[in-house]
């Protein structure tokens, strides 16, 4: 790397370690960077029509407070509030002549905050001068020349390092670069004005993983290495999954340390506000994946907050402890890493076959039959209990109870599960979503569920409230389904969410959902792999009407497959099929639509729907370990007929 100036020996250590060393100890040199500055300033009431960089001059206390929050959350590197501090972006606000003032103030605010934290906690943190793209098109696509771009970057870099070693920026971060043409000018300018300052350079990519000018990650990494970067990587983009894929590809093209700082997912517009949906826990799960892929610098971009940084810090610390324990075990006894969660008080849960009757059947490979029963909208669940009793007598293995599907207000799934088990004796599977509870409430619910005999949990993210009858209701989503699986797995190992001992194992069998017909199947496969890694033990699919999709999904998960239960839905009418296709976005073959449309009466339509479901069950049976049959509109006998447990049902 470039020679680091005097006083920067600690900074230089951040960049130590080549590929071989990192493979030996993935977390030895991991550096946690902060998250979004703009997101935090917006949350403080600064509207997007303001120049955020100018706040270094007019509201330095606010900028200081954001830096302080990130340092408190555990960030080791904080970026100055200078992402847009170049003459082209500042010109839009009439501030082109304030480049030096804004950047110098940005560094001094960050430096003061780092110094204060160091005095209080004797902790080491570093200031990174943030350099974003110019926000204009360069030749030959635009009118701005390469020399003008170089000059603009050089002007900003000069201000960021003006105060000198240990006082100016410790590191320079060139980030969110859309094209390699602009990236080259930024690197050349940084090397010209600050030859002794370590330089991290990151591009932003599209959903296919390529830079916005079409450059592949491999080529981008090679070029940035050649031009003089000290670390390369990817930030912003479509979220952590995309960034992970990019740095995995970059690893093969460079010997330099890698940097991964994704957005908190793709933003969504909700009631006029731009919301990033990725939870801190989900981001933390990717922090571990980044370092396993070879990243040295890990942080966040748009939509991330100190809560994301705090969760990532915990994940990295836990990974460091786990890796150290693994290395020690490998040296002493040559064993592989245990899959149990970290914690000296962790306990081993009972084997899957001893946790529940469903777990026992899945453990030995028996075919499992389940029927879904939806909770009532009121307090009378006699119909549901009667239906469960009927199905139990016919030989169904378990009853699935959804958790307020489509964000509707119904009797709690936990209450109906308890009443069915107590009154009928059949085992239930509790659907549990992340929509309505924070992580503390989840833990309380799950501990209670285990104590009253509920032993099967289906971990779901949950439908957003806007899909239901109360669109103004507030969703929580502290975690998504992946994070929830981790919580349940920890409880099974006798640990709460803080890794504190709770005593016995909760003994849950852990299941997750899968959707073979989702349009973005790549993301579905990726998330399914994460669910399995988190601790899922079997999966239940969404209703499947095209068996080719199920077959392809099973082929794609072959390397990390767990037992799969196929979802079967007996259609009741053409309108029901249209609703499934258009409102629920379920893949519906045209042949199925034609068959349902050809039925001459409601009775014949229901009979045709059952026949189609029976055909799908017969086709799916050799591929899966069970089926879950839904009972549309409470037609439990129809579900039993699909399973072949009764000959016919009344019209």
Distance CA(471)–CA(119), nearest Å, equals: 48
**Same-domain check for residues 540 and 626:** yes
**Does residue 555 lie in a domain region?**
yes
**pLDDT tens digits for range 531-561:** 999 999 999 999 999 999 999 999 999 989 9
Cβ atoms within 10 A of the Cβ of 569, count? 26
**Same-domain check for residues 322 and 366:** no
Distance CA(259)–CA(287), nearest Å, equals: 11
Cβ atoms within 10 A of the Cβ of 594, count? 11
**pLDDT tens digits for range 429-485:** 999 998 888 888 899 999 999 999 999 999 998 877 655 556 666 677 777 888 899
Max distance between CA atoms of the chain, in angstroms, equals 87
**Does residue 4 lie in a domain region?**
no
**Same-domain check for residues 268 and 130:** yes
**Burial label, 351 (beta-carbon count in 10 A; 0-12, 13-18, 19+):** exposed
**Same-domain check for residues 42 and 126:** yes
Q: Which residues define the annotated binding site?
A: 236, 301-302
Domain with residue 548: its CATH number is 3.20.20.220
**Same-domain check for residues 322 and 369:** no
**Does residue 534 lie in a domain region?**
yes
**Does residue 650 lie in a domain region?**
no
Domain count, the chain: 2
Look at residues 297, 332, 367 and tell me which one is the last residue of a structural domain: 332
How much is the average pLDDT of 276-283?
Answer: 73
**Same-domain check for residues 370 and 292:** no
**Same-domain check for residues 301 and 369:** no
**Same-domain check for residues 404 and 503:** yes
**pLDDT tens digits for range 572-600:** 999 989 888 887 778 899 999 999 999 99
User: Omega of the bond prior to 551 within 30 degrees of 0, cis?
Assistant: no
Handedness of CA 513, 519, 523, 525 (dihedral sign): positive
**Does residue 344 lie in a domain region?**
no
Distance CA(503)–CA(492), nearest Å, equals: 10
Q: Is the pLDDT of residue 523 over 50?
A: yes
Look at residues 272, 299, 332 and tell me which one is the last residue of a structural domain: 332
> Which 8-state DSSP code applies to residue 52?
G
**Burial label, 474 (beta-carbon count in 10 A; 0-12, 13-18, 19+):** exposed
Q: How confident is the model at residue 143 (pLDDT cuts 50, 70, 90)?
A: confident
**pLDDT tens digits for range 608-649:** 999 999 999 999 999 999 999 998 888 898 999 999 987 765
**Same-domain check for residues 462 and 591:** yes
pLDDT value, residue 469: 59
**Same-domain check for residues 194 and 248:** yes
pLDDT value, residue 9: 58
Rounded to the nearest integer, the mean pLDDT of the chain is 86
**Same-domain check for residues 577 and 611:** yes
DSSP string computed for 64-79: HHHHHHHHHHT-SEEE
**pLDDT tens digits for range 109-126:** 999 999 988 777 656 799
Q: Which residues define the annotated binding site for Zn(2+)?
A: 236, 301-302
Domain that holds residue 620: 352-642
Handedness of CA 313, 318, 321, 322 (dihedral sign): negative
Cβ atoms within 10 A of the Cβ of 330, count? 12
> Which 8-state DSSP code applies to residue 247?
H
Instruction: Let me know: does 36 contact 305? Beta carbons within 8 Å.
Output: yes
- Alpha carbon 386 to chain centroid, angstroms: 40
Distance CA(188)–CA(62), nearest Å, equals: 33
Domain with residue 119: its CATH number is 3.20.20.330
**Does residue 340 lie in a domain region?**
no
Q: Is the pLDDT of residue 4 over 60?
A: no
pLDDT value, residue 401: 95
**Same-domain check for residues 199 and 146:** yes
Q: Per this entry, what is the length of the chain?
A: 651
Type and span of the H or E element at 88 = helix 87-91
**Does residue 343 lie in a domain region?**
no
Distance CA(226)–CA(245), nearest Å, equals: 22
Where is pLDDT greater, at 344 or 423? 423
Look at residues 332, 364, 380 and tell me which one is the last residue of a structural domain: 332
Handedness of CA 223, 227, 231, 234 (dihedral sign): negative
Q: How confident is the model at residue 336 (pLDDT cuts 50, 70, 90)?
A: very low
pLDDT value, residue 328: 39
In the three-class reduction of DSSP (H, G, I as helix; E, B as strand; rest coil), residue 416 is classed as helix
Q: How confident is the model at residue 331 (pLDDT cuts 50, 70, 90)?
A: very low
Cβ atoms within 10 A of the Cβ of 596, count? 23
Q: Which ranges of 15-85 would DSSP assign to H, the alpha helix? A: 19-24, 38-43, 55-58, 60-73
Instruction: Let me know: does 375 contact 406? Beta carbons within 8 Å.
Output: no
**Does residue 617 lie in a domain region?**
yes
What percent of the chain clears pLDDT 70, i.e. is strictly above it? Answer: 86
């Amino acid at each position: 790397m470039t020679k680091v100036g005097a006083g920067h020996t600690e900074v230089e250590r951040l960049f130590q370690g080549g590929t071989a060393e990192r493979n030996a100890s993935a977390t030895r040199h991991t550096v946690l960077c902060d998250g979004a500055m703009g997101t935090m300033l917006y949350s403080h009431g600064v509207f997007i029509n303001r120049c955020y960089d100018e706040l270094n001059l007019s509201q330095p206390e606010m900028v200081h407070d954001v830096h302080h929050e990130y340092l408190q959350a555990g960030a080791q590197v904080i970026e100055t509030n200078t992402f847009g501090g170049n003459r082209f972006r500042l010109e839009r606000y009439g501030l082109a002549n304030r480049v030096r003032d804004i950047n110098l103030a940005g560094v001094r605010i960050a430096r003061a905050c780092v110094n204060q934290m160091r005095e209080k906690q004797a902790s080491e943190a570093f200031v990174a001068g943030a350099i974003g793209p110019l926000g204009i098109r360069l030749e030959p696509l635009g009118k701005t020349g390469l020399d003008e771009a170089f000059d603009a970057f050089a002007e900003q870099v000069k201000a960021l390092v003006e105060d000198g070693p240990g006082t100016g920026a410790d590191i320079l971060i060139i980030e969110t670069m859309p094209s390699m043409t602009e990236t080259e000018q930024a690197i050349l300018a940084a090397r010209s004005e600050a030859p002794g300052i370590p330089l991290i350079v990151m591009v932003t990519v599209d959903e296919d993983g390529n830079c916005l000018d079409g450059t592949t990650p491999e080529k981008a990494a090679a070029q940035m290495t050649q031009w003089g970067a000290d670390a390369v990587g990817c930030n912003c983009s479509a979220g952590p999954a995309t960034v992970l894929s990019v740095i995995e590809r970059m690893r093969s093209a460079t010997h330099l340390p890698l940097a991964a700082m994704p957005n908190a997912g793709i933003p969504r517009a909700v009631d006029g506000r731009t919301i990033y949906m990725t939870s801190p826990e989900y981001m933390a799960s990717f922090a571990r994946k980044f370092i396993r892929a070879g990243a040295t610098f890990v942080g966040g971009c748009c939509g991330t907050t100190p809560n994301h940084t705090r969760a990532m810090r915990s994940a990295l610390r836990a990974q460091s402890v786990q890796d150290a324990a693994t290395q020690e075990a490998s040296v002493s006894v040559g064993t592989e890493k245990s899959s149990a969660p970290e914690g000296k008080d962790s306990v081993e849960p009972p084997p899957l076959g001893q946790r529940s009757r469903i777990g026992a059947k899945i453990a030995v490979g028996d075919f499992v039959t389940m029927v879904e029963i939806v909770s009532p909208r009121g307090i009378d669940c006699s119909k549901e209990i009667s239906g469960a009793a009927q199905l139990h007598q016919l030989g169904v293995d378990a009853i699935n109870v959804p958790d307020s599907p489509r964000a509707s207000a119904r009797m709690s799934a936990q209450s109906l599960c308890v009443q069915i088990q107590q009154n009928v004796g059949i085992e239930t599977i509790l659907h549990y979503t992340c929509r309505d509870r924070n992580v503390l409430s989840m833990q309380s619910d799950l501990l209670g569920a285990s104590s009253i005999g509920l032993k099967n949990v289906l971990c779901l993210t949950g439908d957003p409230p806007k899909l239901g009858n109360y669109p103004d209701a507030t969703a929580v989503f502290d975690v998504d389904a992946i994070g929830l699986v981790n919580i349940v797995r920890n409880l099974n190992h006798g640990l709460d969410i803080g890794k504190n001992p709770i005593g016995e194992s909760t003994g849950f069998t852990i299941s997750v959902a899968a959707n073979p017909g989702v349009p973005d199947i790549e993301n579905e496969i990726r998330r399914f792999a994460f669910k399995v890694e988190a601790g899922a033990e079997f999966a239940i699919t969404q209703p499947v009407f095209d068996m080719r999709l199920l077959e392809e999904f099973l082929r794609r998960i072959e390397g990390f497959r767990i037992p799969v239960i196929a979802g079967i839905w007996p259609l009741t009418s053409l309108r029901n099929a249209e609703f499934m296709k258009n409102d629920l976005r379920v893949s519906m073959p045209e042949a199925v639509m034609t068959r349902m449309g050809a039925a001459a009466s409601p009775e014949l339509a229901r009979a045709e729907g059952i026949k189609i479901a029976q055909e799908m069950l017969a086709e799916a049976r050799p591929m899966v370990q069970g089926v879950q049959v839904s009972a549309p509109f409470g037609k439990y006998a129809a579900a039993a007929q699909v399973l072949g447990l009764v000959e016919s049902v009344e019209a």
